[in-house]
């Protein structure tokens, strides 16, 4: 008897992220994202300030490791960075109460919600889904996950983005409209959250374009830095 599963071709690899202080890696299940979670960013894009949290997803194989070079995305002339705090879950459920939400958090990381801004604007104008603007290949660079046991829970602290050494985003996690427990509570009403899920919590003001040759560096107090290079157009 063979215990080798039979597939018509090899199944995709597990997507994983490094964990600070451990040789074991964090296996990624799903990537959820919150849109419009900092007031100054809502205002810079001209959106409504009084909406409930807006969620979208990225495919897990859009993850890119720290230090990598990503291609300049195809079919865009306005390829944007959005620096975000990522929350990594060690467990989950439906309908998690705010008061219990943090018990499901394994750790935190720095992530980039890379965006085809021109397509996102066109899609939003048509009330169409954002997938091709947000969920494309290489659209989710994510750094090392720092366990709660080492860094505690992050509800305040500087979040700062540099492109080629120039500061482009400079805010504080306290400026989030929906905090991490509230995000988990809302999201778990829509999806059964599970271990391995990652939640990007939205970006502050200052989003903008990058071009081939740029180096992006995101920093969040307590989490170190995430560095990603922009390479030539992929097609």
Binding stretches for Mn ion (CB under 5 A): 82, 113, 203
Q: Per the structure block, which two tokens stand in for 204? A: 């502050």
CB 120 → Mn ion: shortest distance, Å?
Answer: 10
Cβ distance to Mn ion smaller for residue 85 or 193: 85
Q: Are 201 and 37 in contact (CB under 8 A)?
A: yes
| Secondary structure class of 199 (helix, strand, coil) | strand
Cβ distance to Mn ion smaller for residue 36 or 217: 36
79 vs 99: CA distance, rounded Å = 38
CB 39 → Mn ion: shortest distance, Å?
Answer: 14
Q: Are 116 and 81 in contact (CB under 8 A)?
A: no
Among all residues, whose Cβ is closest to Mn ion? 113
CB 200 → Mn ion: shortest distance, Å?
Answer: 6
CB 176 → Mn ion: shortest distance, Å?
Answer: 12
CB 76 → Mn ion: shortest distance, Å?
Answer: 16
Half-sphere exposure of 232 (CA within 13 A, CB side): 1
Single out the residue of 157, 151, 146, 153 nearest to residue 226, CA to CA.
146
Cβ distance to Mn ion smaller for residue 55 or 191: 55
Q: Are 154 and 71 in contact (CB under 8 A)?
A: no
Cβ distance to Mn ion smaller for residue 101 or 133: 133
Is 203 exposed, middle or buried (CB count within 10 Å of its CB: 0-12, 13-18, 19+)? buried
Cβ distance to Mn ion smaller for residue 104 or 134: 134
User: What is the distance of C-alpha 222 from the center of its chain?
Assistant: 17
CB 4 → Mn ion: shortest distance, Å?
Answer: 41
Cβ distance to Mn ion smaller for residue 36 or 146: 36
């Amino acid at each position: 008897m063979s215990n080798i599963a039979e597939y018509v071709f090899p199944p995709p690899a597990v997507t994983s992220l490094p964990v600070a202080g451990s040789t074991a890696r964090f296996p990624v299940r799903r990537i959820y994202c919150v849109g419009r979670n900092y007031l100054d960013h809502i205002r810079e894009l001209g959106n409504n300030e009084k909406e409930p949290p807006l969620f979208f997803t990225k495919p897990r194989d859009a993850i890119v490791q720290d230090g990598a070079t990503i291609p300049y995305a195809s079919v865009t002339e306005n390829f944007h960075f959005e620096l975000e705090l990522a929350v990594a879950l060690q467990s989950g459920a439906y309908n998690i109460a705010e008061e219990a939400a943090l018990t499901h958090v394994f750790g935190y990381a720095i992530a980039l919600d890379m965006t085809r801004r021109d397509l996102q604007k066109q899609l939003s104008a048509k009330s169409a889904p954002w997938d091709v603007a947000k969920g494309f290949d290489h659209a989710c660079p994510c750094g090392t996950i720092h366990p709660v046991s080492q860094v505690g829970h992050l509800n305040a602290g500087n979040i700062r983005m540099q492109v080629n050494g120039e500061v482009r985003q400079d805010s504080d996690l306290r400026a989030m409209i929906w905090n991490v427990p509230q995000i988990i509570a809302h999201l778990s009403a829509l999806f059964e959250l599970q271990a391995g899920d990652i939640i990007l919590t939205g970006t502050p003001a200052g989003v903008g374009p990058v071009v081939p040759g740029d180096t992006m560096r995101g920093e969040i107090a307590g989490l170190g830095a995430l560095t990603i290079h922009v390479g030539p157009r992929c097609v």
